[in-house]
A and B are shown apart, each in its own frame.
Chain A
Amino acid sequence: MTLTKRIIPCLDVANGRVVKGLNFESIKDAGDPVLLAEKYSKEGADELVFLDITASQEQRETIRSLVSKVAQVIDIPFTVGGGVKTLQHARDILLCGADKVAINTGAVKNPQIITELMNLFGKQCVVVAIDVKRNYDYAEGKNIFSEDSKKFWFEVFIYGGKKETGIDAIEWAKKVQQLGAGEILLTSIDKDGTKDGYDIILTKAIVETVSTPVIASGGCGEPLHMLDVFKKTDVDAALAASIFHYETHSVDRVKEYLKENNVDVRL
Chain B
Amino acid sequence: MKVAIFDYGAGNIFSLKVALEKQGATVDVIKSFDQADNYSGLLLPGVGNFDPALQNMRKNSKTTFQEYVQDKIPVLGICLGMEMFFEKSEEGKEQGLSVMEGEVVILPNKFKIPHMGWNNLKLRKSNPLMDGIPDSSWVYFVHSYRVKPKNDDIIVADSDYGITVPAIVNRGTLYGTQFHPEKSGKVGSLMIQNFLRECKK
Contact = CB atoms under 8 A, between A and B. Distances in A.
Interface in A72-99: 72, 75-77, 91, 94-99
A77 B180 contact: yes
A266 B138 contact: yes
Interface of A: 1-6, 41, 46, 68, 71-72, 75-77, 91, 94-99, 118-125, 182-183, 211-213, 236-237, 266
A124 B114 contact: yes
A147 to B, nearest CB: 27
Contact of B12 (A2, A46, A99): A99
B118 A4 contact: yes
B40 interface: no
Contact of A182 (B15, B80, B114): B114
Contact of A3 (B47, B52, B118): B118
B116 A182 contact: yes
Given A3-B115, A46-B118, 8 more contacts: A76-B185, A95-B14, A97-B14, A118-B49, A120-B10, A211-B111, A212-B112, A266-B138
Given A75-B188, A120-B10, A1 B162 contact: yes
Contact of A212 (B113, B159, B161): B113
Interface stretch (B60-68, B123-131, B139-147): B139-147
Question: Which among B80, B117, B141, B162 has the greatest number of chain A C-beta atoms within 10 A?
Answer: B117
Contacts of B12: 94-95, 97-99, 125
Nearest to A267: B138
